[in-house]
Structure formats: structure tokens, C-alpha cells
Amino acid sequence: MARPSPAEVLRFIAENESFERTLAAFPDLGLDDLRGLLRAVARAAVQREAEARGIDTSRLRVFCDGAARGNPGPAGAGAVLYTPDGRLVERLGRYLGRQTNNHAEYQGLILGLERALELGAREVEVYADSELMVRQLLGEYRVRAEGLLPLWRRARELLARFDRARIAHVPRERNAEADEMSNRAIDERM
């Protein structure tokens, strides 16, 4: 197993440390506030680590996925960011509560694109195993589900913020790490 990044260690602490003492010391904060603070620290650590390792984040590959156990059911979004030469930049996961699989797929994409922008990426190559989502974003399929329209719009808005953005469908086996992150998000309530 590879050495964990600072962000992974902080995320583990955030998910496994009891927050009762912290909440007692800072009664104006809620659990979501603490999770948000830890995520912000983890993101900054990833950025510093990338810079220290000489990783150029101006061009990134974003593998994204979503999972729902039941449709709808407990759902999670996942994304994994790499440099074009295959160096891992960051793994991301987000628990979504009860959602559909297609909702989770879009959330995985949005999660990855938002993080790529935060890291300063100007170009992205996006890979997803959801043929429906990819074809909708390419304009080959209409978005028929009303609940997906806001997510489709957000994804299009984010893609437009890059100087160059490409999205492609990949088989599930080429998207295993993003799938793992979306399932971890459900299991660990990330």
C-alpha cells in the first residue's frame, strides 16, 4: 500500500475521531462546520504536497463515478485526479444521502471538476463510466429527468471554465479507483 498523503490522513481523522470534545469546546460550531474545516485543511495540504513534489496541476485527468445502493438509495460520489503522466494528485469522496445513481454520477463529476479548478487546472480530460451522463454532456442525449437538469447545468458551467475540456466514456474496469471512492463515501459517510 502506498504511503498516505496528508489529505488522506486528515480525512481519516475527520471520519474516525470523536468530535464530542471539540464540539463541547466550541459550542457555536456544528458537525458540518468541523467537517468543512477539516476538508479545507486537507485541500490545502494536497496543494502544498503537489507543489512540493513538483506536480504541475494546470492539466489534469479527472476520473469520476457515482454509486447508489438501491435506486434511489444511500449514495456517494467519487473522483480521482491525475496528472497527464499518471501521477496521483488526489482522491475525493462525498456522501450524498439518499439519491439515484445518475444523481451520484453527476455529483462525482462536479466534485472532480470543482477540485480541479481549485488546484488551478486550465485543461481537463474527464473519464466516466456513465454513458448516459457523458452523452448528455456531449449533447447526444437530452436530459429528461428534471432532477438532473440542475446538475447537468452545473457540470456544463464548470466544464466551460476550463480553457480546454474533454469528456469521454470509459469501461467500468478503467474507472475502478473512482468507483472505490464513491463506495467509500457511502461506507464511511465522507
Tell whether 85 and 178 lie within a shared domain.
yes
Tell whether 76 and 48 lie within a shared domain.
no
Tell whether 159 and 74 lie within a shared domain.
yes
Which of helix, strand or coil describes residue 58? coil
Q: What DSSP state is assigned to residue 67? A: E
Tell whether 85 and 113 lie within a shared domain.
yes
Size (the chain), residues: 190
Examine the fold and report which residue of 54, 75, 94 is the final residue of a domain before the chain moves on.
Answer: 54
Handedness of CA 34, 36, 38, 40 (dihedral sign): negative
Please name which of 177, 12, 182 lies closest in space to residue 82, comparing C-alpha atoms: 177
Tell whether 67 and 150 lie within a shared domain.
yes
In whole angstroms, what is the distance from residue 42 CA to residue 37 CA?
9
List pLDDT tens digits, range 131-188: 999 999 999 999 999 999 999 999 999 999 999 999 999 999 999 999 999 999 999 8
Q: Domain span at residue 174?
A: 56-188
CATH number at residue 170: 3.30.420.10
Tell whether 47 and 75 lie within a shared domain.
no
Tell whether 41 and 130 lie within a shared domain.
no
The pTM of this model reads 0.78
Question: Domain tally for the chain?
Answer: 2
Tell whether 95 and 136 lie within a shared domain.
yes
List pLDDT tens digits, range 1-27: 566 665 566 666 666 666 677 777 777
